[in-house]
Amino acid sequence: MVARNAFYAQSGGVTAVINASACGVLETARLFPDRIGTVYAGRNGIVGALTEDLIDTGQESAEAIAALRHTPSGAFGSCRYKLKGLEENRAQYERLIEVFRAHDIGYFFYNGGGDSADTCLKVSQLSEKMGYPLQAIHIPKTVDNDLPITDCCPGFGSVAKYIAVSVREASFDVRSMAATSTCIFVLEVMGRHAGWIAAAGGLASDERHALPLVILFPEQVFDPERFLRAVDEKVRTTGYCSIVVSEGIKGADGRFIAESGSRDVFGHAQLGGVAPVIAGLVKERLGYKYHWAVADYLQRAARHVASRTDVEQAYAVGKAGVEMALKGHNAVMPAIIRTSDSPYRWEIGAAPLAEVANVEKKMPLEFISADGFGITEDCRRYLQPLIEGEDYPPYAGGLPDYVTLRNVAVPKKTATSFSV
Amino acid sequence: MVARNAFYAQSGGVTAVINASACGVLETARLFPDRIGTVYAGRNGIVGALTEDLIDTGQESAEAIAALRHTPSGAFGSCRYKLKGLEENRAQYERLIEVFRAHDIGYFFYNGGGDSADTCLKVSQLSEKMGYPLQAIHIPKTVDNDLPITDCCPGFGSVAKYIAVSVREASFDVRSMAATSTCIFVLEVMGRHAGWIAAAGGLASDERHALPLVILFPEQVFDPERFLRAVDEKVRTTGYCSIVVSEGIKGADGRFIAESGSRDVFGHAQLGGVAPVIAGLVKERLGYKYHWAVADYLQRAARHVASRTDVEQAYAVGKAGVEMALKGHNAVMPAIIRTSDSPYRWEIGAAPLAEVANVEKKMPLEFISADGFGITEDCRRYLQPLIEGEDYPPYAGGLPDYVTLRNVAVPKKTATSFSV
């Protein structure tokens, strides 16, 4: 059997552990030189394939590849670029096959969320129709935790851990200050469509560290009066309150609360920034002094406090993707299968991409407590194992020693150019 | 010699390591039971002394006291409550002495910043005038890093490390996304009067991890045109730019930029939130897609990524405070004396409170690069040792296992009550 080359690309918003998946792909591929020649990475994701801007990962040392496991972000560059439907833009898909053919690529590893699962499936289908032999494997990644079949999505566990840790720490802080000063802390978290990340804030409070939390989920219509009553009750009974708010909460009119709050210096409605709106509302109506924070990229880039479980799963899906390809699988995604809550146990299964593409997993409504402002025991049982364990990066000079790859370009072979 | 009791209080904004100073005070005091009876802590800082709401730290186990070393926030509660001048409100100071006398307190350890150094000095002076024997020791603490004499202030090093780590991680993130999406990341940091914390963001970039940073210091008048040129130049040469902005930057009119930007839902100028103003300006004028974050309390509570140097210094000033008291010192502050930059070496000296109170240390202007948007090598040489080393807290269930003390109240002994 002649070795064929592989293509790997990172897609969509990056995470603290997407490079751990890349590490899993690359280290595993290197174990099978008789089957897999060189792994080419797309510079800036799939755009690199369309423009034939490929990176020769064979030029990276084993040490550099190993360091990807502890380096956040997308080492080859990612992109927000959704391929259109096959019917609308068949040329894009045919261009992919053209580039793959030129570089004898027999394996396509696409590391991303729901959109990239769909693209991966379409590439698989088109290559079959065109008679070009290709095994297309989707490697799951998304902090949104919204891929189906897999129990969780690599990238989410580390965001969840960051948010839970941050809420615990900031709550201890505001508790210290509440008697004479700030008694309200508001943290805005990601999750425009689903409350998975907001729910993770609920883990900050447990039996040994009881904290008065109010969580605002995008699954619930924001009701200012009920919210203010919940906050006031926490402050009156415990002296303070920490509020975790999803960026995606909406009012009864269906509009994002983040948009309703403020206008920027140019008079435009300011996108993002629901935290100051919520804090201002509490101040105006209840008179409490507040502080607010917006975690934004810090939450998904925080490799320094990544979940060991998440890192291990991210590596495992990368490794499994290569193994599945070598076993002849096509149009599948390695999925995390939970076999036990406590002790937490998981294994990797294969999910057919036809069942993954265009299916969005919602957070179960029974994960939200009856009052709408907290998480249930079911939710805790699901979330807690995902933040379990620490996996610190090496430090040098007081800072995490993350790797920046050489990212050497592969000479172009096609005569055509392609604009994206 | 008969043992006398001690009083310890936390003052002002809390930090990731103020409890490490408490740990140093309490563990050291417990070594000298023949000299120091019980250490009483003020519940919610000095307010607890005025209202005779004292906490009996003798009721806490050795394990609980030891856990203070890795627990952020103020374990006994802090307060924002500045005692007025002696002439204006002698009654407050006399009340303190009354409570101290009732509980046979011979040692006063006050853990805070500039204001509390001043209070500590006044308490010392009044006790002397009133013939009440008291040794008043100020234990330095402030993320603002603005106390004189001491080379740095416990609490600052951990904020500096958090900001440097966060800027590095978020910069890696935006670098990954910049080709097709976000190429500007803005992080707002604390430091209303001085740029120490903003400067720490500059540590994120070094020889092995070169990152295009633009730092906005409160020491510089904000000039939108020069700023936009600097950002645009970074984006044009490297593809992206990370901006670190101090909450305290002001325009040529002397007004905070944070106030100029937006109005809240009630039409009030919105305090805080300079990051969205800066991000909006970049978008409006340069057209670049942005993300922004506001770290707020997260930066000063982040014990999970504390600087080991900072933790050790925080503990050391607490320990030294007790040792100085036992040696008969009065109206002093343990100060950190740097004896070598590289390798970094430090020792503890004694600073007279008369030279500490009401003196604010500014960041040297030569720490800011000639273009006004970066840090100099002098600055790096000063800052880098302060973030050196990691000191992880223990984790349980995926979260830092911080201690919450029992905080048992001491029965009141004075017949009078006092309102604050």
Q: Which residues of A touch B71 (CB under 8 A)?
A: 172
Which 391-410 residues of chain A touch chain B by CB within 8 A?
A: 392, 395-402, 404
Q: What is the pLDDT of residue A230?
A: 98
B405 marked as part of a ligand binding site = no
A68 marked as part of a ligand binding site = no
Q: Is the dihedral of CA A36, A39, A45, A47 positive or negative?
A: negative
What is the residue whose two structure tokens read 């610190």? A392
Buried (b) or exposed (e) across B341-377, using 16+ Cβ within 10 A?
eeeeebebebbebeebbeeebebeeebbeeebbbbbe
Tokens of A345: 């146990």
Residue A282 at interface with chain B, using a CB cutoff of 8 Å: no
SS (H, E, C) A271-335: CCCHHHHHHHHHHHHHCCCEEEEECCHHHHHCHHHCEHHHHHHHHHHHHHHHHHHHCCCCCEEEE
User: Which of the residues B118, B144, B151, B391 is marked catalytic?
Assistant: B144
Contact B399 A206 (CB under 8 A): yes
With 90 as the cut, is the pLDDT of residue A263 above it? no
With 50 as the cut, is the pLDDT of residue A157 above it? yes
Q: Note the helical H segments in A108-180.
A: 114-129, 156-177
Q: Which residues of B touch A406 (CB under 8 A)?
A: none
Least Cα separation, residue A206 to chain B (angstroms): 10
Least Cα separation, residue B83 to chain A (angstroms): 13
Model pLDDT for residues B85-109, shown as the tens digit of each residue: 888 888 999 999 999 999 999 999 9
Model pLDDT for residues B107-130, shown as the tens digit of each residue: 999 999 999 999 999 999 999 999
Residue B14 at interface with chain A, using a CB cutoff of 8 Å: yes
For A44, phi then psi, to 5°, come to 60, 45
Please give the full DSSP string across A163-206, using - where no structure is assigned.
Answer: HHHHHHHHHHHHHHHTTTS--EEEEEE--SS--HHHHHHGGG-B
- Domains belonging to chain A, first-starting first, are 4-154+303-359+389-400 (3.40.50.450), 156-301 (3.40.50.460)
What mean pLDDT do residues A116-137 have?
95
User: What is the ipTM for the molecules in this complex?
Assistant: 0.97
Contact B80 A177 (CB under 8 A): yes
How many angstroms separate the CA atoms of A377 and A342, rounded? 13
How many angstroms separate the CA atoms of B233 and B241, rounded? 9
Gyration radius of chain A's alpha carbons? 23
A372 marked as part of a ligand binding site = no
Tokens of B403: 């201690």
The 3-state DSSP class for residue A8 equals strand
Contact B305 A304 (CB under 8 A): yes
Residue B155 at interface with chain A, using a CB cutoff of 8 Å: no
Half-sphere exposure of B203 (CA within 13 A, CB side): 31
How many angstroms separate the CA atoms of B313 and B302, rounded? 17
Contact B293 A291 (CB under 8 A): no
With 60 as the cut, is the pLDDT of residue B262 above it? no
How many angstroms separate the CA atoms of A46 and B99, rounded? 71
How many angstroms separate the CA atoms of B337 and B351, rounded? 10
Is B146 known to be catalytic? no
Model pLDDT for residues B275-303, shown as the tens digit of each residue: 999 999 999 999 999 999 999 999 999 99
Q: What is the pLDDT of residue B88?
A: 84
How many angstroms separate the CA atoms of A73 and A141, rounded? 12
Residue B300 at interface with chain A, using a CB cutoff of 8 Å: yes
Side chain identity at residue A293, one-letter code:
A
**B contact test, residue of A11, A68, A71, A169 with most B CBs within 10 A:** A169
Look at chain A and count its residues: 420
The A344-352 sheet, strands edge to edge: A54-56, A36-42, A4-10, A105-112, A135-140, A332-341, A344-352
Q: Which one has a higher pLDDT value, A418 or B205?
A: B205
Residue A347 at interface with chain B, using a CB cutoff of 8 Å: no
- What beta strand segments (E) does B141-299 contain? 184-189, 213-216, 241-246, 290-294
What mean pLDDT do residues B237-265 have?
85
Pairing between β-strand A395-396 and β-strand A399-400 as defined by DSSP bridges: antiparallel
**Residue A271 · residue A258 · CB < 8 Å:** yes
**Residue A267 · residue B267 · CB < 8 Å:** no
Name the band, by pLDDT with cuts 50, 70 and 90, for residue B263: low
Least Cα separation, residue A366 to chain B (angstroms): 23
Contact B266 A260 (CB under 8 A): no
Q: Which residues of B touch A164 (CB under 8 A)?
A: 398-399
Model pLDDT for residues B121-167, shown as the tens digit of each residue: 999 999 999 999 999 999 999 999 999 999 999 999 999 999 999 99
A207 marked as part of a ligand binding site = no
A123 marked as part of a ligand binding site = no
Asked if residue B343 has a cis previous peptide bond (ω within 30° of 0), the answer is yes
Model pLDDT for residues B164-202, shown as the tens digit of each residue: 999 999 999 999 999 999 999 999 999 988 999 999 999
Residue B418 at interface with chain A, using a CB cutoff of 8 Å: no
B315 marked as part of a ligand binding site = no
Name the band, by pLDDT with cuts 50, 70 and 90, for residue A265: very low
Q: What is the pLDDT of residue A260?
A: 61
Of A43, A179, A281, the CB nearest to B79: A179
